[in-house]
Amino acid sequence: MFHNEKEETLTRSELTQLQDERLKKVVKWIYTHNDVFKQRLDEANVNPDTFRGLDDLTALPTMNKKEFREYFPLGMCCVPKDQIREMHQSSGTSGTPVVMPYTNNDIHQWGECMARCYKMAGAQPGDVCQITPTFGLFNGGFGMYHGARQAELFIVPASSGNTERQIRLAKAFNTKILTAVVSYGPRILEVLAQMNETLPDLKIGIFGAEMFSPNMKKTISEGFGIDAFDIYGMTETGGVGTLGQDCPDHSGIHVWEDHYIVEILKPGSNEQCPDGEQGEVVVTSLTREALPVIRFRTGDLSRVLSREKCACGRSHIRIAPITGRLDDMLIVKGVNFFPSQVEQALLEIPGVHPQYQIIIENNHGVKDVHINVEAEEGVTGYMVEKKLKETLGFSPKGDVFKPGELPRQAGKAQRVFFEDKN
């Protein structure tokens, strides 16, 4: 099922031509509408009148969250304030928030990308769609709302929290599509079990905003008996869904290439990774007005899986599910690993529940890993230690808790904690 079949199935050469035209246009737009962008392009010797589009892409300077913070709140905005209709922001961990302003056209572009994701997951007009991410500064709730409007769904704007009420809503309205932050999936399953309830009408789950390890995806799909999809996007690119999602073939995230150029760069350098090699996702938005990003270094790690047409008929580039963020990489006793790899390994132990904490203890400069995980009776700390030793090559200390004992968070789950034992 397509939302915009023509654009979603453009041939590679049509896509390249479109990206080329749109890239020239957006470079001219930022140059003529914002002084910060103008200065950055001048410094990089990029002249929008002679800029040759895709051939000159790598001449454009990269940007990252630092610029967003430096020019907080609207220093990089390319339209007058009276043309802004909405804003979202993410706080991240370090102080000044990242702000994304939207014009009317930007809201429409967001809704279009998001509606494509719904339809790609199998949504049909009139389907009941329950939106559980927060409606607020976080872009999750509103993005899913704007998309659901364009996909003509019956929206249940539940927002976050109160899981029992979520379940009562889903039962009362026969929710078919559930949207959530990944870690909220297991939480709903847990409360469903406590209430001795099931959701037989639920068919589609759209999850994102956090790493989605293959085993977490399996736990969620099997737990609900649904097809679960991995949706990608971020505040800086315009929110949830802007960077696409996987299709029912589950062969990678289809990035909406008519709206975004995706590059995979070697971390810390400007060098392109060959297809298949993991690197940092770098994004250029082609169709946004208020604040387009140009070669934005997302910090997320992925790789190109395919540039060929997918079995679903879509032609856009496919990238691997995000394995982690560059700044999430943990190094303990010479072993590098990502929290998502710990999750993947833990969920392979029968009886382990998808609730865990990774605690990095710093004992006078010597780091140790401590894993707290919820599991059924019979799972021991030794089993956790052995599994991680086998799969990741380091020996953590494992502690097993009863289901429900570890704290739950609203929104994105905090999995990693640092403790100083000095």
Contacts to ligand DLL by CB under 6 A: 90, 133, 139-140, 208-212, 230-235, 239-240, 298, 300, 322, 325
- Radius of gyration for the chain, computed over Cα atoms and rounded to the nearest angstrom: 22
| Cα four-point dihedral sign 345, 351, 355, 358 | negative
Q: Which CB sits closer to ligand DLL, 108 or 412?
A: 412
Q: Which CB sits closer to ligand DLL, 228 or 388?
A: 228
Q: Which CB sits closer to ligand DLL, 322 or 332?
A: 322
Q: Which CB sits closer to ligand DLL, 105 or 134?
A: 134
Q: Which CB sits closer to ligand DLL, 238 or 396?
A: 238
Q: Which CB sits closer to ligand DLL, 229 or 394?
A: 229
Instruction: Give the residue from 302, 185, 217 showing the smallest Cα distance to 252.
Output: 302
List helix spans (H) across 195-325: 214-224
CB 192 within 8 A of CB 168: no
Instruction: Give the residue from 137, 219, 142 showing the smallest Cα distance to 184.
Output: 219
Q: Which CB sits closer to ligand DLL, 113 or 400?
A: 113
Q: Which CB sits closer to ligand DLL, 25 or 149?
A: 149
Closest CB to ligand DLL: residue number: 208
The two tokens of residue 27 are 């470079």
Where do the DSSP E strands lie in 250-390? 253-254, 260-265, 279-285, 296-302, 304-306, 318-319, 324-325, 330-332, 335-337, 352-363, 366-375
- 51/87 Cα distance (integer angstroms): 31
Compute the least distance from the CB of residue 64 to ligand DLL, in Å: 11
- Amino acid occupying residue 236: E
Compute the least distance from the CB of residue 324 to ligand DLL, in Å: 8
- 359/420 Cα distance (integer angstroms): 10
End-to-end CA distance of the chain: 57
Chain position carrying tokens 């929104």: 411
Assess whether the previous peptide bond of 73 is cis (omega < 30° from 0).
Answer: yes
Compute the least distance from the CB of residue 399 to ligand DLL, in Å: 27
Compute the least distance from the CB of residue 59 to ligand DLL, in Å: 25
